[in-house]
Chains A and B, each alone.
Chain A
Amino acid sequence: MKKAPIQFWDYRWKLVSLVILIFAIAYTGKPAAMISGLAFSLLLTFFTGTNPGEAVKNLKTPLYLLLFMSPFIILTPGRELLWQLPVVKIYRESLDLLFTILLKSTSIILIFNALLYKADLTRLMQAMKTVGIPGKLISILISTYRYIFLYRKDLVKLSIAAKLRAHSKRRGFSHLLTSADIMLTLLVRSYEQSERVQAAMVMRGYRGEFYFAEKFKSKFSDKIISLVVLMAATGIILMENLC
């Protein structure tokens, strides 16, 4: 299967430059800077070969949440009254806030999607270690990542077992008791497993650090792409301060 251009970008350079870009967009508040941020994130999505369908899928949840929150945002009182209807008043500040959240969250999610598109998470954590994140934390992240999937499988099995026993029809306190039992089973199992895993890893010589066999090698093109992204981030910040 053909690789997308973003998959050739060195993980360390990609991580640093895209995180800086995310913070530059989070810093913005003026329409021109926010629209530029969105335009650059769309360009990034297009040129890096990120699947647009996946980007749209990732945008769905935050946009639904924003849609749910929008009546509360719109009805928040402000200073400058725009429209007055029989029951509600709509202020400029509320609409500005809705527009700001929509633009900034869309841009940040698109960049985040580019950062994670077909990324190998273990390699991403290796890159995090290279850029100075403590080894202990990386070890916790790697181990947590491994066990999340294992426990999700366990949870699915427990939920099916509960459904077979007509748990899904229960309501109120009875539902709370069954949910507590499912969580308890999961936690006791994981506690016992954590003791076994710890003993097994210490016996195999684990001293709190993971070592990666593969080393990073950056190419000239990695630096150029990162430079373009950093220039865009600087441009967005300048636009915010000068416009």
Chain B
Amino acid sequence: MSICLAGYVGTVALTALGLKKTEQENIPAVAVMGAAFFTASLIHFRIGVTSVHLTLLGLTAIILGVKAIPAILAGLFFQAVLFQHGGISTLGVNAMIMMTSALFCHYSFTLLIKGKHNKSLYISFVAGGVTLLTVLLATVMTSSLLILSGDEFKGLALLFSVSNGTLALIEGVLTGIIINRLLKIKPEMVLS
């Protein structure tokens, strides 16, 4: 319960930051892009006999920047409300983990591509690498919180880490490919 409440406190602080950075006139654009990311994350990706849903956390952060924070919150809210994925009591913790990881992704991507805007292959590799690290960071934070909740959650934390490690790799490759193609057809989406 204390972790749930701490999650809500963190989410409130990060949402306040995200909303401050979102100009009122930009709200429709943030919402439309947020909805697109949410929908794109519904695409199944096959791994052997099973399939996974991607989070598109890195891609959202790279394209929307700090404005990804309210978009992530909206996405998680509708996941809970429309599809009953995740609960309202854990919404704060989930949102805080995803928002922190998205901020890490945005700032590291911006820092690493500074002054190298004409090197599209380099930018694509950076995007893929940063996304991989972002998903791994989110996984480490979730697993740590699970372990902090009690020793009995250790097994679950291990299961979660293994499955998300594979997901991180797929997300990294996919984001690299998408960013590479975006740089050719719509570079302002990545470099603005």
Contact = CB atoms under 8 A, between A and B. Distances in A.
Interface of A: 19, 22-23, 25-27, 58, 61-62, 69, 72-73, 75-78, 93-94, 96-97, 105, 108-109, 112, 116, 121, 134, 136-137, 139-148, 150-152, 154-155, 159, 171, 175-177, 179-184, 186-191, 193-195, 197-198, 201-202, 206-209
A183 B186 contact: no
Given A26-B4, A26-B89, A134-B19, A207 B35 contact: no
A191 B177 CA distance: 18
B170 A176 contact: yes
Nearest to B77: A141
Given A61-B85, A176-B174, A186 B78 contact: no
10 contacts: A105-B87, A108-B89, A109-B84, A116-B81, A139-B31, A148-B39, A150-B35, A155-B39, A197-B28, A198-B25
Interface of B: 1, 4, 15, 19, 22, 24-40, 42-43, 45-46, 56, 59, 63, 70-71, 73-75, 77-78, 80-82, 84-85, 87-89, 150-156, 158-159, 170, 173-174, 177-178, 181-182, 185-186, 189
A179 B155 contact: no
B81 A183 contact: no
Given A26-B4, A73-B152, A193 B32 contact: yes
Contacts of B159: 69, 72
A238 B157 CA distance: 31
In order of increasing CB-CB distance, the 10 nearest A-B pairs are A208-B24, A143-B31, A190-B36, A147-B35, A76-B155, A194-B32, A151-B39, A26-B89, A194-B29, A144-B74
A161 to B, nearest CB: 13
Contact of B189 (A191, A197, A206, A207): A191
Please report whether the interface of chain A is mostly helix, strand, loop or mixed according to DSSP. Answer: helix
A69 B146 CA distance: 14
Contacts of B178: 180, 183-184, 187
B177 A208 contact: no
A148 B78 contact: yes
A27 B77 CA distance: 21
Nearest to B174: A180
B19 to A, nearest CB: 5
B152 to A, nearest CB: 5
Contacts of A109: 84, 87
B28 A143 contact: yes
Contacts of B30: 140
A179 B174 contact: yes
A123 B9 CA distance: 26
A182 B32 contact: no
B78 to A, nearest CB: 6
